[in-house]
Amino acid sequence: MRFLDCPPRYLFFTGKGGVGKTSIACATAVKLAAEGKRVLLVSTDPASNVGQVFGESIGNHIKAIAAVPNLFALEIDPQAAAQVYRDRIVGPVRGVLPDAVVKGIEEQLSGACTTEIAAFDEFTELLVESALTADYQHIIFDTAPTGHTIRLLQLPGAWSGFLEEGKGDASCLGPLAGLEKQRAQYKAAVAALADPARTRMVLVARAQRATLREVARTHDELASIGLSEQFLIINGVLPEAEAKQDVLANAIHQRELAALNEMPDILKALPCDQIPLKAFNLVGLDALHQLLLTDVHPSESVLQGEAVAIHAPSLASLVDGLAADEHGLIMLMGKGGVGKTTMAAAVAVELAQRGLPVHLTTSDPAAHLTDTLSGSLPNLTVSRIDPHAETERYRQHILNTKGAKLDAQGRALLEEDLRSPCTEEIAVFQAFSRVIREAGKKFVVMDTAPTGHTLLLLDATGAYHREVSRQMGGTGVHFTTPMMQLQDPKQTKVLIVTLAETTPVLEAANLQADLRRAGIEPWAWVVNNSVAASYSQSPLLRQRALNEQKEIELVATVHAKQYAVIPLLHQEPVGLDRLQALARPQPATSE
């Protein structure tokens, strides 16, 4: 494995949920420990299952892994760290400031960025020379801070009062005054991250266009702040030998080859390793020892058995419930790479096929989907929003208004605040909101949506419904704000899209909790790209289908009020016929 050639002291594994970064980090730690190196494995992943992988409880104190000499582990709970961080800021002002102000500060501190900053605050101690880390030759992190978080820590420590004075706009960060560590320690930690002799960033992706685009953005973001020592791992690549046994396996293999050939040039320039797809769950030492091996013959290690065929509701069954309303807003939500845009298109096509008027509005950067659908189906209209253009327009508006009277330091803070993930959500959703009003007469299907946290920020700052209020205010006429419309299940239905894998399901459950905090109850879940809902003769895929069943059962019985399972198709679902096949899959067959 090239990423293990002359490894530096610090190894960071980063990537979207479900790509396998925790498993690879654990396998790396085991391999280095077996070579006689004293290794500390650190997790700051909210969905961490490091303890489960090793079969023992770890927690937030360094603990020796009994079964692996030389290996020690630490799980930093980012949610707990964020709660301590929030309490430190909100506690002194509770009962002093008006309740509405306190509530606003709490919401500013409830986003994903704040959680990440609090976690980074916890582990900066591990990136500087200290008695705590002196004994370890390698420290491995199973997640990494974003470039946005690192840039924030490089800025002047003047966040206290910045947002309270109204200089910022809707922010997902809130003031950074609650950070405990000294600026000198942050400076030393950032210097360690940027030193290629000490730190290596390992980008983890799957052989899929969406995840490769995401990891290319991560590469650019980290490289822009000097984190240049980067390696790429393409995880879970279906072995060619497996593809020869089965039509579905061959289709997956060809799709992965195409994605790798079309991968962004910036990624092609990185040292790259491919890790073959494994049939087994990556739990226990035997599994970890095998993960980084490239010569495993998957079919030999798979439990043989009858093909698994699940009986779960189809997307068409969900559309039956949607169609009964004859109009309304349908929002598809989920983490990157789960197929939100494709699911939105499938829902829109199925509704239009039933003779219902539909407007599909997409922020998909791959315009081929729009091109395929445009004008090709009665009752369906399609509009596309450019996320980059909308975000830049929004940033410039805020800088030209709120930023106009700021000094250089204040403007630097505002510019960084506008690089936060919430900014793109806000900008794109404002563009989407222009077509939301159509939902009173037709279906509006939206392929992405802001998190509950962002919606609360938009509502709190008035940025979301300011225009409605200005137009209607003082007239005595009753009006419904967009937030009220989203909270009304008769007007808006949210479909959460996920995959039948542990981390994506956990992330979807967290997203659902986030929406509920904003008073929005998800209407249904959609489990996409399920091998268990397909038919395969491949032993490896059959075993993975068995593994999926537990996650599908969890969605069906714990998380979702209603759900659908979408099979993994032989061909990519682009075009009307294939989108219809998603909604109305054929029964499993061996032919």
Q: Token pair 């459950």 is at which residue?
A: 509
Name the token pair of 346: 């499938």
Tell me how crowded residue 50 is: count the other CB atoms within 10 A of its CB: 22
Alpha-carbon distance 284 to 290, whole Å?
A: 10
Alpha-carbon distance 459 to 473, whole Å?
A: 16
Q: Token pair 């195409």 is at which residue?
A: 258
Contact status, residue 317 vs residue 346, Cβ threshold 8 Å: no
> What is residue 591's three-state secondary structure?
coil
> What is residue 386's three-state secondary structure?
coil
Q: What is the DSSP string of 268-307?
A: HTS-EEEEE--SS-S-SHHHHHHHT-S---GGGGSPP-PP
Alpha-carbon distance 489 to 469, whole Å?
A: 22
**Burial category of 400 from C-beta neighbours within 10 Å (exposed 0-12, middle 13-18, buried 19 and up):** exposed
Q: Token pair 């805020």 is at which residue?
A: 398
List the catalytic residues. 18, 20-23, 45, 503
User: 384 to each of 365, 439, 447, 482, 551, how far by Cα in Å?
Assistant: 9, 17, 10, 21, 33
Which amino acid is residue 583, in one-letter code?
Answer: A
CA atoms 93, 94, 100, 105: torsion sign = positive
Name the token pair of 522: 């998800």
Question: End-to-end distance of the chain based on CA atoms, in angstroms?
Answer: 39
Alpha-carbon distance 331 to 439, whole Å?
A: 11
| Closest to 161 in 3D by CA, of 180, 174, 179 | 174
Contact status, residue 423 vs residue 387, Cβ threshold 8 Å: no
> What is residue 121's three-state secondary structure?
helix
Residue 242, CB-side half-sphere exposure with 13 Å CA sphere: 29
Q: What is the DSSP string of 64-88?
A: E-TTSTTEEEEE--HHHHHHHHHHH
- The beta-carbon contacts of 210-215 under 8 Å, at least 24 apart in sequence, are 210/336, 210/337, 210/339, 211/15, 211/16, 211/19, 211/336, 211/337, 212/259, 212/260, 212/263, 212/264, 212/267, 213/264, 213/365, 214/15, 214/16, 214/336, 214/337, 215/15, 215/16, 215/267
The edge-to-edge listing of strands for the beta sheet with 443-446 is: 380-384, 358-362, 443-446, 328-333, 492-499, 524-530, 563-567
**Burial category of 122 from C-beta neighbours within 10 Å (exposed 0-12, middle 13-18, buried 19 and up):** buried
**Burial category of 419 from C-beta neighbours within 10 Å (exposed 0-12, middle 13-18, buried 19 and up):** middle
Angular region, 536: left φ>0, alpha ψ -120 to 50, beta rest: beta
